[in-house]
A and B are shown apart, each in its own frame.
Chain A
């Protein structure tokens, strides 16, 4: 792993487009500012890994598992949430 020392308000560049800036240092907490192109997702690692685990777990779901999900559904809420749309199988 490349290790660099930086002070507050200093930055590092990753490639041509990603800039990571040390915004603040307080005790054992460091605040980072990240400028990256919109197509580069930026995540806290532990959150990203948790989402990965959840998606992989969810991908094992079979159609039989969801048979009773309707009993937990309320009436179709009006407002910005839409029911899933698409071709009916």
Chain B
């Protein structure tokens, strides 16, 4: 399928690669189907591009590459809808945002993707994690959450 996007122009997406988010994403509930694109300039970065709205895309990264001590704990009720038989089928990414001065990562609400079933869901992780973890600012390591 070919989709027209505001950021990447026209792109071809194999329908088999489309990720279905049954609950959408909070704030963007109307977008259920997404394609995960690798960034052309940066191998650490991906883009979740809505396949139905060309203007909607979220920059995502694998959190461990930016926050090595990030350990995500997700309540069972949050992960059950993904029907993951094996956590090794799961890909965890976090959404990149921006303040006036820095890029941020939403460590509190990672997106978990079931690579086998091609489904995804944004979950709320346990513990005291920031929604705006600033990249590059000197800050103490993540608090060990209770």
A residues with a Cβ closer than 8 A to B are 38-39, 41-43, 47-48, 50-59, 61-63, 65-67, 69-77, 79-89
Contact = CB atoms under 8 A, between A and B. Distances in A.
A81 B63 contact: yes
Contacts of B74: none
B81 A59 contact: no
B56 to A, nearest CB: 6
Question: Looking at chain B, what size class is its interface with the partner chain?
Answer: 35 or more
7 contacts: A38-B77, A58-B98, A61-B59, A73-B61, A83-B44, A85-B38, A86-B35
A57 B62 CA distance: 19
Interface in B64-80: 64-66, 68, 77, 80
Contacts of B106: 51, 54, 58
A51 B123 CA distance: 10
Q: Is the interface of B mostly helix, strand, loop or mixed?
A: mixed
Give the 4 A-B CB pairs with smallest separation, nearest first: A84-B46, A52-B27, A81-B64, A73-B44
A87 B17 contact: yes
A33 to B, nearest CB: 11
Interface of B: 7-8, 11-14, 17, 22-23, 25-28, 35-47, 56-66, 68, 77, 80-81, 87-88, 90-93, 95-98, 103, 106, 108-109, 122, 124, 131-132, 135-136
B26 A48 contact: yes
A56 B26 CA distance: 9
